[in-house]
Each structure stands twice: as C-alpha cells, then as structure tokens.
C-alpha cells in the first residue's frame, strides 16, 4: 500500500477528482493548505496598494491506494492538474504500513 499526496492549484480540484473517479478511486481526503515552492509567493494589488502574498493557496489531496494502482493515480493527477505554469504542484508517494477501518476493524487493502 502507498499514500499518494498531491499538492495542486485549487481550481484544478474538480478535474483531478473526475480523473480519479474514472480510475475507480473510492476515497480521498482534501485539505486547503498554503505554502510556496519556486514561486516564493507573489505580489497583488488591492485598492491601489501593493502587498506581498508569502504563501500561495493550494489544495492537498491524500489517497491511500494498493501498490498496483499508484502509477495510474499519479499519471491521472499529473494530466488533470497540469497547466504548464509555475506552481502546478507536487506529488509525493510514500509507503503506507497499515490501514485500519474503525467501523469494521478491517485492515490492510480491505480497509481502503
């Protein structure tokens, strides 16, 4: 099992969700986050005053998946979240040691 974490632009969330649904992904966790990478924030103009936005709003997706589904998930997120501009995001894949479904006490892949 793996945990796929993707940080994407907020307006791409619906496209990514649709792409994952087409793959049969049954669940994901979405969190609104702020951060920066190479963008290092940006400046905006509000009522004639310029100010610096240090942290850029993003959406963080977390998907627990069986190992054989991970490559398809990564490719689907990459295709759906791509704009070609700086700040498209990142995808992290890490091993997932154990999953337990609280309601039924199922463990492992059955709990996903």
Nearest to 38 by CA among 5, 107, 72, 85: 85
Q: Which residue(s) pair with 63 in the sheet?
A: 4
pLDDT 10s digits, 54-80: 788 899 999 999 999 999 999 999 999
Domain membership of residue 10 as a residue range: 2-111
Count how many domains the chain has: 1
Query: What's the pLDDT score for residue 48?
Result: 76
pTM of the model: 0.86
> What tokens does 88 get?
């498209």
- CATH number of the domain encompassing residue 41: 3.30.70.120
Contact 62, 5 (CB under 8 A): yes
Query: What's the pLDDT score for residue 80?
Result: 97
| Tens-binned pLDDT, residue by residue, of the chain (112 aa) | 999 999 999 999 999 999 999 999 989 999 999 988 776 666 667 777 776 777 888 999 999 999 999 999 999 999 999 999 888 999 999 999 999 999 999 999 999 8
């Amino acid at each position: 099992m793996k945990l796929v974490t993707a940080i994407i632009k907020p307006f791409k969330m619906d496209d990514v969700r649709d792409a994952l649904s087409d793959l049969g992904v049954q669940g994901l966790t979405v969190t609104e986050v702020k951060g920066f990478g190479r963008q290092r924030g940006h400046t905006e103009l509000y009522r004639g005053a310029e100010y610096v936005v240090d942290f850029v709003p993003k959406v963080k997706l977390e998907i627990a998946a069986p190992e054989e589904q991970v490559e398809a998930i990564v490719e689907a997120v990459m295709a759906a979240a791509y704009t070609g501009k700086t700040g498209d995001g990142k995808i992290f894949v890490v091993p997932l040691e154990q999953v337990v479904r609280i309601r039924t006490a199922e463990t492992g892949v059955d709990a996903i």
